[in-house]
Structure 1
Amino acid sequence: MIGEDGTSVIRVLAPTAEDMRRIGSRLASLVRGGDVIVLSGPLGAGKTTFAQGFGRGLHIAGPIVSPTFTIARELVGRSSGGAPLRLVHVDAYRLGTLGFEPGQASADTLLDQLESLGLDEELDDPDEHTIVLMEWGSQMAAVLASARLEVSIERPLEPKPVRGKDEGCGVLSGDGPRTVVFRAVGPAWTQRMDDLRKAVEA
């Protein structure tokens, strides 16, 4: 499938939490050192569940939890071929919300905060043994990582009647299947989209 902007897109249904982990694990089997994965979706969509599967696919022994309060965590794993890999798991939810100066652009603030955390170079040019998985990172991805795989998780909507108005105003449901959307940005992931489609749809 080709998106509106001409990029390659894959959509896959995740009916259960274990399906979400499986999809994350299948993605991990295709990553290479230097890859940047940007993970987005509303609260409760399943980002941490996806990240758990991703970590499982990288043979990471420790638990994968949301690094919201630590901003970033480093975990050691290995690729499907056995090569050692370092996973930098970043939660950018709070980045860009603090420390604005009058007239300062949000992108500048993000860059300053990432630099203070030592993450700007990780995103701009990860080394051959590093994978970056960034949650809530879509706002800064275009600024920092010209080549990346964007993964967005969509939650279902359920109708919510509103008195005096037409019914059918959608609200995010806490239950039900999720849809995981993969979008390749740059040639490195565009070339792997056929393999990714086969892996996540199997």
Structure 2
Amino acid sequence: MRLELRSAADTHDFGRRLAAVLRAGDLVILTGPLGAGKTALTQGVGAGLGVEGRITSPTFVIARSHRAGEGGVPLVHVDAYRLETLDELDDLDLDTDVDAAVTVVEWGAGLAERLAESHLEIAIERRADETRVAVLRGRGGDWAERLASLGSGAPVGASA
């Protein structure tokens, strides 16, 4: 699935819609250059999941856990930019949270895939005109079905 997101607000709104197909135990891996919209997307996911508090980039703390409000699903937000090995990712002890929460890992390609049997990869490209292009690829599990259901409410510029 490929989406064209015309602004940071569209990126946030898409994250909120994406949250509707996410469930506890899901792993989402985000890639893209600085300023592509990875944190904006995660903020939308958090809003859609009903987490409490403000979501900010965990660049310096590496990982943040966000509690769910009533009826929501917790969110674990990881920035793997400074992590170089699987051992460093293991040291975060994320395994204790991934079954009960949605885990979003920025800069996680090549490291975070082993946290779950299946995962969703989202590559975000930021164009000069501030438009973002997001390419979603489900790996394993029932991601194809979930992404198909997500596509039914896709923003302008989306294609499967």
Q: TM-score, structure 1 length as denominator?
A: 0.71
40 and 122 in structure 1: CA distance in 2 versus 1, 3 angstrom threshold: farther
Tell me which residue corresponds to 1:70. Answer: 61
Tell me which residue corresponds to 1:42. Answer: 33
Instruction: Return the letter of the residue paired with 2:78.
Output: V
Alpha-carbon distance between aligned partners in 2 of 1:180 and 1:200, rounded to the nearest angstrom = 12
Could you give the per-residue CA deviations for residues 46-93 of structure 1, whole angstroms, max 9, x where no partner exists?
A: 111111111111122311110010000000125xxx634221100000
Alignment of 1:99-178 (within 5 A): 110-119=85-94, 121-122=95-96, 126-127=98-99, 129-156=100-127, 173=128, 175-178=129-132
- Larger of the two Rg values belongs to structure: 1
Tell me which residue corresponds to 1:88. Answer: 76
Q: Compute the RMSD of aligned alpha carbons.
A: 1.9
> Secondary structure, in 3 states, of the residue corresponding to 1:61?
coil
Runs (4+) of structure 1 moved beyond 4 Å?
none
Alpha-carbon distance between aligned partners in 2 of 1:122 and 1:180, rounded to the nearest angstrom = 29
Q: Percent identity?
A: 43
Could you give the per-residue CA deviations for residues 148-190 of structure 1, whole angstroms, max 9, x where no partner exists?
A: 011111112xxxxxxxxxxxxxxxx3x4211111111002212
Unaligned runs of 5+ in 1: 1-9, 97-109, 157-172
Is residue 17 of structure 2 the alignment partner of residue 12 of structure 1? no
Alpha-carbon distance between aligned partners in 1 of 2:152 and 2:80, rounded to the nearest angstrom = 30
Deviation at 1:122, TM superposition (A): 4.9
> Secondary structure, in 3 states, of the residue corresponding to 1:93?
coil
Is residue 136 of structure 2 the alignment partner of residue 182 of structure 1? yes
Q: Which has the higher contact order (CA 8 A, sep 6+)?
A: 2
Contact persistence 1:39–1:136 (CA under 8 A):
yes
Count of residue correspondences:
156
Tell me which residue corresponds to 1:25. Answer: 16
Q: TM-score, structure 2 length as denominator?
A: 0.88
Contact persistence 1:122–1:132 (CA under 8 A):
no
> Secondary structure, in 3 states, of the residue corresponding to 2:11?
helix
Contact persistence 1:11–1:182 (CA under 8 A):
yes
Contact persistence 2:113–2:119 (CA under 8 A):
no
Unaligned runs of 5+ in 2: none
Tell me which residue corresponds to 1:101. Answer: none
